[in-house]
Structure 1
Amino acid sequence: MRRIEKNSLGAALMMALLCSCSGRTTSEPFVQSVSLTRPIALNRETSHLYSGIVKAAHEVSLGFKTAGQIARIHVSEGDYVQQGQLLAELDDADYQLAVDALQIQYDQLKDEVERTKQLFNQKSVSANDFEKASAGLRQLGVQLQANRNKLDYTKLYAPTNGYIQTVNFSPAEMVDAGTALFTLLDVSRLEVEVSIPANEYLRRDQFTGFTCRAAGLKNGVQLRLGSITPKADGNQLYHLTLAFAGQPDRRLTAGMNVEVGITVADTTRTGGFGVPPGAVFLDGEVPCVWVFGADSTIERRPVALREMDNEGRVVVIDGLTGGERIVRAGVSALEEGEKVRVVETPSQTNAGGLL
């Protein structure tokens, strides 16, 4: 008898518990979960980064202006030289002899011309003879100066500041006039070379600024456009040459890799804000977004749109202030004034929310 009473009591308790649970479940309203985003203020310019390299503005091939045998080389590869510094010399013995021989002839003829002039003043020599003697002296003077120049050409001087990149000959070797003895990197003016894809080249008329950054340099350096090669290479890249707008940092050297920023005027942007395409819906024919309120309810906000920008965002030019949080997806299932629950978007650096 007692066992029956206990079973009946247990069954009654179970029924009461089930009824209470079912009543509580049906009384709670369903709350939709949404993810939010903020409108992104759009500028009228975009910036893209490319890899570039610092190069010397000129690589100068240096050689003697006359032929001869190399007597001395005063520099080595990698040496820094200054403008006017002596780099190498030829054996000048034969050139010196040629100058000495002509100097003797010139001095002798000069004395003869002086005597002829005195005779001409005394009417003892015709004007024609005096003019011939004077012309012969001038001609010999030109030959003497040409040989003096050749003697000077046996010494090779640095035309500008820079670094000796290569030395192509050794002492005692014979070189012809114009043969490149040295390759000099002219570091008096550095420049930056960068390659850009075809889509960027097509917007070259919209370039508004250039900067470069290098490892170890905190601040970017302003550049200006030097030239653009109008022909693509085998990789469909176009080469830009950029000059430094001011004096470059001394730590920048030829061959250094840099990051080049190219600022482009974006004609698709007229200010306003960028929002994901999924955040916009139509209320009839009026584009709207759902704005999340402080009480966790949503409000329909009409907006004025412009075409998408280059990054695939819808451009909102009216209706938003930039401080709102708006629903980014699933907007068609929501209703005005509905209370929603925010699902935070996980950080890209904390995948899975493990941290």
Structure 2
Amino acid sequence: MLTTPTPSGAESIKNFSGVVQESHNIGLGFKTAGQIEKIYVKEGDYVKKGQLIAQLDHTDYQLGVQALEIQCKQLEDEVKRTEALYRSKSISINDYEKAQAGLQQLKVQLQVNRNKLAYTRLYASTDGYIQSVNFAPSEMVDAGTPVINLLDMHSMEVETELPAEVYQLRSRFQRITCELPSAKGEDIPLKILSITPKADGNQLYQLKLTFQKKNDLRLSAGMNVNVRIHIAGTDSLRTSFTLPLHALIQSQEETYVWVMNDDSTVNKRKVHCSGIDEKGRAIITAGLKGDEQIIKAGVNALQENEKVRVIHTDNKTNVGGLI
């Protein structure tokens, strides 16, 4: 029985270990300084966007707003009286405009204090899980200090590292998939987010990937996955071929195959086998041109220059060769 070499440079698959990561780790802090009055969440809690998660003591801020509201109300009454005087031409336009400008400035100050009062309440900026709570009630915090760390779970990412020889082939990446530990044999499609152009101390390049479809409920941050990168081949790379393993014969620590000639005789040819591909076929990197007819059955019963007869498979519509 015969077979022909199959080019193996058409596509290659590289496997790497990857880790699932959350897309962002957000440090949430108050926009104003103060003393923490209440924290409404704990580590591991799931929160939704806009949910109240912590609060400062707002007593002083509330008093500041009330004081400015009283001043603003009083000044509004004065501006109304000033306007009446201006319409009766009892005061100049300059005095009237000064009164209006003073009222506007006071309203701006009132809004600033109202904003500060609102800043004493801390809300979740997105859906996610509380990773850490960095302070406790009664502690003082400055503006911008991260009080709570939030894991943004809207989109998950996969991080892996590439050796230099794979990084150099990045322009030929056809598709990238990953396999979850809980779903052996199921490939989940990924797309590239970024590839770090600088190698680290181990000469590895960091590759970040994201899932093409909506997050799978089986995913969690820190999970290990198997990343598969399918790399397209080029014509210049198609110098290797694959053959069934049983087409090879070993003799004196060398590898050979039987090649059938046009006159139905066979000759033993030395080849170089570099390994086995993911389909269990031998990878031949030297000794073949690609157009040979290789014996794949009966290899152990042949002699050099022996004339052979090829066993043909019966046609499906002519079982037993009766026609």
Q: TM-score range by the shorter chain?
A: 0.7 to 0.9
Rounded to whole Å, the distance in 2 between the matches of 1:92 and 1:174 is 13
Q: Summarize deviations over 1:182-223 as a string: whole Å, max 9, x none.
A: 111100111100111111111111111110111112521110
Assess if the C-alpha contact under 8 Å between 1:95 and 1:147 holds in 2.
Answer: yes
Of residues 148-157 and 203-212 in structure 1, the stretch that sits farther from structure 2 once superposed is 203-212
Residues 235, 273 of structure 1: alpha-carbon distance in 2 compared, 3 angstrom cutoff? closer
2:157–2:211 CA contact under 8 A, matched in 1:
yes
Using the aligned pairs only, state the percent identity. Answer: 48
2:145 is aligned with 1:174: no
Please, which of 104, 109, 113 is the counterpart of residue 70 of structure 2?
Answer: 104
Q: Does 1:255 align with 2:222?
A: yes
Structure 1: segments with no counterpart, 5+ residues: 1-35, 280-287, 302-307, 340-355
* SS at 2:265 equivalent: strand
Provide the rounded CA distance (Å) in 2 between the counterparts of 1:205 and 1:327.
43
Q: Any gaps of 5 or more consecutive residues in structure 2?
A: 249-256, 268-273, 278-282, 310-323
**Does residue 237 of the first structure (1) align with residue 204 of the second (2)?**
yes
Give, as a single letter, the amino acid of the residue that structure 1 aligns with 2:242: G
Structure 1 distance, partners of 2:5, 2:292, is 11
Q: Which has the larger radius of gyration?
A: 1
User: Using the alignment, how far apart are the partners of 2:107 and 2:265 within structure 1?
Assistant: 99
Give runs of aligned pairs for residues 303-318 of structure 1, distance below 5 A: 313-314=285-286, 316-318=289-291
Aligned residues: 284
Q: CA deviation at 1:55?
A: 0.3
> How far apart are 1:255 and its partner, in Å?
0.7
Instruction: Report the counterpart of residue 242 of structure 2 in structure 1.
Output: 274
Where in structure 2 are the equivalents of 1:80-229 lying within 5 Å? Answer: 80-218=46-184, 219-229=186-196
Using the alignment, how far apart are the partners of 2:299 and 2:198 within structure 1?
A: 43
Kindly provide the amino acid, as one letter, of the partner of residue 221 in structure 1: I
Structure 2 counterpart of 1:258, which letter? Answer: V
Distance of 1:45 and 1:327 partners within structure 2: 30
Q: Aligned partners of 1:201, 1:158: CA distance in 2, in Å?
A: 39
Q: 2:20 aligns with which of 33, 54, 62?
A: 54
Q: 1: distance between equivalents of 2:291 and 2:140?
A: 79
> What TM-score results when the alignment is normalised by the length of structure 2?
0.78
What is the CA–CA distance in structure 2 between the aligned matches of 1:39 and 1:232, rounded to whole Å?
A: 38
- Between the aligned partners of 1:84 and 1:316, the Cα distance in structure 2 is 67
Once the two structures are TM-superposed, the CA of residue 270 in structure 1 deviates from its matched residue by: 5.4
Change in CA separation of 1:113 and 1:316 when aligned onto 2, cut-off 3 Å: farther
How far apart in 1 are the matches of 2:80 and 2:50?
Answer: 40
Whole-Å separation in 1 of the counterparts to 2:92 and 2:177: 77
- Judging changes above 3 Å, is the alpha-carbon distance between structure 1 residues 238 and 257 closer, same or farther for their aligned structure 2 residues? same
Please give the secondary structure, in 2, of the residue aligned with 1:313.
strand
- Looking at structure 2, the residues matched to 148 and 207 of structure 1 have their Cα atoms a distance apart, in angstroms, of 54
Q: 1:196 touches 1:238 (CA, 8 Å); kept in 2?
A: yes
> What is the TM-score when the length of structure 1 is the normalising length?
0.72
Q: Whole-Å Cα distance in 1 between the matches of residues 168 and 193 of structure 2?
A: 17
**1:318 shift after superposition:** 3.0
Kept in 1, the 8 Å contact 2:4–2:290? The answer is: no
Could you say what secondary structure the match of 2:215 adopts?
coil
- Partner Cα distance (1:274, 1:313) in 2: 9
The alpha-carbon distance between structure 1 residues 185 and 328, as it changes in their structure 2 partners (threshold 3 A), is farther
Over 3 Å counting, the alpha-carbon distance change for 1:58 and 1:336 in structure 2 is same
Q: 1:10 maps to what in 2?
A: none
Q: What is the one-letter code of the residue matched to 1:183?
A: N
**Secondary structure of the equivalent of 1:48?**
strand
1:299 to 245, 265, 268: 265
Q: Which has the higher helix share?
A: 1
1:34-55 per-position Cα deviation (integer Å, ceiling 9, x unaligned): xx98744636211111000000
Inter-CA distance 248–327: structure 2 relative to 1 (3 Å threshold): farther
- The alignment status of 1:69 with 2:39, answered yes or no, reads no
Letter in 2 for 1:274: T
Aligned partners of 1:78, 1:103: CA distance in 2, in Å? 41
Structure 2: distance between partners of 1:56 and 1:184: 10
User: 1:96/1:184 Cα in 2 relative to 1: closer, same or farther (>3 Å)?
Assistant: same
The answer to whether structure 1 residue 78 and structure 2 residue 44 are counterparts is yes
Determine which of 296, 301, 313 is the counterpart of 1:325.
296
**RMSD over equivalenced CA pairs, Å:** 3.4
Aligned-pair CA distance for 1:299: 3.4
Describe the shift of the 1:328–1:186 C-alpha distance in structure 2 as closer, same or farther (beyond 3 A).
farther
**Secondary structure of 1:318's match?**
coil
